[in-house]
Amino acid sequence: MREKLRAIIESKAWEYTIISIIALNAITLGIETSQTVQQHYGPILRTLDDIVVGIYVVEISLRVYAYGLRFFRGAWNLFDFIIVSIALVPTTGPAAILRSLRILRILRLISVVPSLRRVIGGLVLALPGMGSIMLLLSLVYYVFSVMATQLYGETFPEWFGTIGASAYSLFQIMTLEGWSDAIVRPVMDVYPNAWMFFIPFILTTALTVLNLFIGVIVAAMEEEHEKEMEEHHHYVRMEASEIMKELRTLRQDVAKLRRNRKASHKQKVEMT
């Protein structure tokens, strides 16, 4: 019974059904924010929301029954369980503040869609490398902040009067959001050679270091994909091994039946 249920839960039809329900729930939660819609269709939306929560509870219950205690060993399963548990909290009375947390149900798409799981897994794997890059970026940032304060602090105290102000201004420059007209050009009107400071800063931070972030994340996602493919191949090999064992057993049974049949036929011949 549990094996059949697991086969159903792991099927593509089940996956697409759950994805459709989550998408429908996301749409209804967004529609509920409209006061006009609430006035005309509030009861219908609440009923639909209760039905969706009921489906979530049934789905989680079936998965717990199908996998037993193994269900709680999976991180994504625990994530789903917590999200569904939050959905069961009453949205009236003292717990009404938790009503806004209903939108967290949409995050279940991450656990349901394999490609999204790979993205999150890749980000988690990239954290150590990202930490090293963050340290490097912080050092570069601090050096340029001190230099900017010393070079331009007296003339432009609003932008570079302190290390904190310099760091904030340099962050605006790093994001390339109006950096030229808002900060750099006014500074260059007073210090024509200021480009020798700002261009290396942009090349170092906005282009080089941030591209390192992208490279680390992409490499981690590739590693996560390879790990997933390896697990899939291992599963396929295990399935093939089980099939071969069953085939060998069947061959032995067939051979045994043939021997028994020959022996029975021989006995009949001898009796005649």
Q: Tens place of pLDDT for every residue, the chain, 272 residues?
A: 777 888 888 888 988 898 899 888 888 888 888 888 888 888 888 899 889 989 999 999 999 988 888 888 888 888 888 888 887 876 665 555 666 677 788 888 888 887 788 788 778 888 888 888 888 888 988 999 999 999 999 999 999 999 999 999 998 888 877 777 788 889 999 999 999 999 999 888 878 877 888 888 888 778 777 777 777 677 778 778 888 888 888 888 888 888 877 777 666 666 66
The Cα–Cα gap between 52 and 110 comes to: 18
Q: How is domain 129-227 classified at the CATH fold level?
A: Helix Hairpins (1.10.287)
Residues in CB range of 107: below 8 A, 6 or more apart: 79, 83
Neighbours of 268 (CB within 10 A): 9
The Cα–Cα gap between 36 and 34 comes to: 5
Tokens of 31: 């529609």
Judge contact between 154 and 171, C-beta under 8 A. Answer: no
The CATH number of 1-112, from 1.20.120.350, 2.30.110.10, 1.10.1370.30, 2.60.40.10, is 1.20.120.350
Judge contact between 121 and 222, C-beta under 8 A. Answer: no
Q: According to DSSP H, which parts of 68-184 are helical?
A: 75-87, 108-112, 114-152, 157-160, 163-174, 179
Quick check: pTM over 0.75?
A: no
Residue ranges of the chain that CATH labels 1.20.120.350: 1-112
Residue ranges of the chain that CATH labels 1.10.287.70: 129-227
